[in-house]
Each structure stands twice: as C-alpha cells, then as structure tokens.
Structure 1
C-alpha cells in the first residue's frame, strides 16, 4: 500500500513556440502538478534552449518540475542545462541513458519511456533512470492496452525502488492506475483538451487521487 497519494505528471503536446505557456501556467497554478514533460518539436539546439527558457517558468513558478524531450537526437543535456529545465526524458535507449546520466550526474533528472519489455525496464532502472514511464502513446498515437499498463506498473511499483509513472489516457482511468501504487499518474490530452480547461482537469484528477488515498488509510 502506498504511503501517499500518487502525484500528477503532465505531458504536453509537441510544442514549437511559447504560445502554450498560458495553458501550462493554468494547469500548474492548481498546485497539484508535480512535474511536466515539455515535448519539443525537432529544432536546432539554440532554438530548443530558447523555447525551454520561454516555457519552463510557467510551470516552475508554481513549484512544478520541468523535464524536456525532443524528437531525434537533440543534445538534451545541453538544452536542459542552458534552458533551466529540471531534467530530461528519453525513449528507451540504454546507451543514451548511460551517457545522459554521466553528463547530468545528480544535478538533473533523467526519465525513460517507450519501454518494451520487463527486461528493458530493469535495465533502465539499473542504468540510473530517475523514473520509468509506462503506457504513454506510441509515436503513431496508438496506446497499449490499459490492462497491460496496469500489469506493468503494478509489477514495477511492488518490486523496485525507482519511481514509476503510469499514463492515464483519460480521467476515467486515473483511479485504476493509481491503484497500482505508481508514484505518479501521467495525463496528456485529457488535460489539454478538457472542455472546462486544463485547471479543471487537473483539479478533477487530483481529487480522484486524494479520495483514493483517503479510502485506503
């Protein structure tokens, strides 16, 4: 049984400019978002760094950690350091994880997603990942089955020390995923496309997590 409620981890759409900052600020101003992953459109290092500088404060001023990722092989360590992000996120790649861990040391977090197998998950955990993300949309937009994500997150949370993040495709799946004892629940489109706005979605999700924690005390 988890000692505390799972916390929220938001994943943005792919961003190519700073126009998303107000929506990011609205979501994080609730005080309920532990971390946000900025997904950046492929660009040169300077462009990515400037985009992080423009976007990160919208979350960080509310106490939310900011992680960055980008398609391709962008130098995320440099972008995060120069842009002021709190960490980086990569698709499952053991060699790249080792490189980033060595370069960033303990100064910034390194998260890993796109994890195909349990063996891969253990490799990334042993390789120094600060968290593992299970169940996020694939590059083509499709999702793994909810049952498979519940199974993977439950297995990981029960056995391993490294925190895990379980991706919820909708608010209606938050409760089931939180029951896995994953430390974080990730939300993407369910927040950004909510008819009442990002803050309403975050508040609803946080309420689900708090009620679940209270029920299991």
Structure 2
C-alpha cells in the first residue's frame, strides 16, 4: 500500500511510520519539520507541509491508498485555553483528500470524547473538568464533522485511552465500537499497539465510518 502519515515526528506517529515500513508499505511522512524525523528508508519519503492548508497537503495525498493521522495537541490544567485544533485540521485534511480523490482516512482520537452519565466518576468529575474537557470535546466535534459532513470519506476514528511508552506484549489489540473498551485489563494503551491497530485497519479496510475504542491486549 501507499500510505501518507500526518504527525509522523510525534511519539505515536513515528511508530506508525515504522510499523508501515516494517510491513512493506510505501510511506510518505508529511511533517512540519523534516529534520525531526530521523528514520531513513528507501520506501520512506519525508515532505514538509502545512496541515492547515489543503493546497499544501493535496500534492502529497495524490496516489495514496490511505492517509493516517496522529496529529494532536496538548491540554492544560483547568482548561484555560479553547481548543479547535482537531476540527481545524480535519476540515483542511478533508478538502485535500477530496482534491486528491483519496477516500480512506484513519485518525487518532481518544476514549470518552462523548459525555455519558454512566462513565466513571473520575472521568466525568476529575479528568474532564480539570484537564481534558476542551480537548475531548474538540475530538468529539471532529468525529461529528466526519460523520455529518463527510459522507464521501471512509474514515475510522481510532480511540485509545492514555498512551504509554511501554513495549507491546504482541497480544491482539482489544477493540470496541464505542466510547471505551469494556475490559479488566489495566487502563492504558501502548503506542506500538495503537500503531499496529492503525496499520491493521488500513490493510484490512475494516471499520469504515466507525469510531473504534482500543486498548492493549
């Protein structure tokens, strides 16, 4: 496959690039600063682009079988900063996808982007109010945008919980169509497992127009 990766210099994006290369795919890493991506491979092309400019992205989407995004932004204590990063990116990316005639788009989101009164107390009354409410809300708005305004895009929202730098056990990644994965496993997903799942999804063509929560197996 020919795969374009957005956010390829980040901790998760680097692993997505490596996973795709290890499986024999041709990868275009679309980054803001090419010097930050140290990976060298004859099937890896590193290009510079502005994620908020569809005309900057579109030439690098041409001919791709899928575009994968690990783009993200941080949050802050007490949610003092309004966040529109994810919706701004999504709108630009979708325009570029349409111009390049690419339909397959897989992006990283999070558990609990939607509110539910049955979610754990610590999520609804500690984590969201103090740390992640605006970030998770904007991720949810991004998912709503893809569902409601992009019927021509075969998207998959990959929703991990807190990402860790632990090594993968190699076990199958657990997944569930919903806000989280009902499981007795410890909370958290290693980045390599998230990368594995994203490439699995690109290869299989599964979960089109779905939001899929994942966690390490």
> Which category of TM-score, normalised to the shorter sequence, fits these structures?
0.3 to 0.5
Q: So what's the TM-score if we normalise by structure 1?
A: 0.37
Q: So what's the TM-score if we normalise by structure 2?
A: 0.37
More helix by share: 1
